[in-house]
């Protein structure tokens, strides 16, 4: 019976070690996903800024008679698409952040 208890203890210890490694891997994966999402969001925010400037220029050029209504509409469409993409990247960022917080909560529970 003592031998069986030692075997069971080693098994539990191995399972605990595997669980800790799995949780650490989940935290690392979630962190990397968050970093990537943050970079994508930041890049898209720059794109929105550029699209906003392009729209302003198209409107000014239209008022001056050097651009067509189609130029303004295309700039508006580009701006709307950039804003839509920004919203999607913001959603991805929030999901990645929540996944990291969830994985870190697992880590905290495991260490208690």
Domain limits for position 95: 2-111
pLDDT string in tens for the chain (112-residue length): 888 888 999 999 999 999 989 989 999 999 999 999 999 999 999 999 999 999 999 999 999 999 999 999 999 999 999 999 999 999 999 999 999 999 888 666 655 5
Query: How many domains, in total, are found in the chain?
Result: 1
Model pTM? 0.78
pLDDT of amino acid 2: 86
State phi, psi for 65 to the nearest 5 degrees. Answer: 85, 10
Closest by CA position to 54, among listed 94, 93, 82: 82
DSSP state of 8: H
State phi, psi for 86 to the nearest 5 degrees. Answer: -60, -40
DSSP state of 67: S
pLDDT of amino acid 97: 94
pLDDT of amino acid 109: 61
DSSP states along 17-58: HHHHHHHHHHHHHHHHHHHHHHHHHHHHHHHHHHHHHHHHHH
Q: Is 39 helix (H, G, I), strand (E, B) or coil?
A: helix
Whole-number Å distance between alpha carbons of 15 and 72: 63
pLDDT of amino acid 59: 98
pLDDT of amino acid 105: 85
């Amino acid at each position: 019976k003592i031998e069986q208890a030692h075997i069971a203890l080693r098994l539990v210890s191995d399972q605990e070690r595997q669980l800790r490694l799995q949780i650490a891997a989940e935290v690392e994966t979630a962190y990397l996903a968050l970093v990537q999402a943050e970079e994508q969001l930041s890049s898209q925010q720059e794109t929105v800024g550029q699209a906003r400037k392009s729209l302003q220029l198209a409107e000014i050029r239209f008022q001056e008679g050097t651009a067509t209504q189609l130029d303004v509409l295309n700039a508006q469409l580009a701006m709307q698409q950039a804003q839509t993409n920004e919203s999607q990247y913001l959603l991805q960022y929030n999901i990645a952040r929540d996944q990291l917080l969830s994985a870190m909560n697992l880590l905290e529970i495991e260490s208690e």
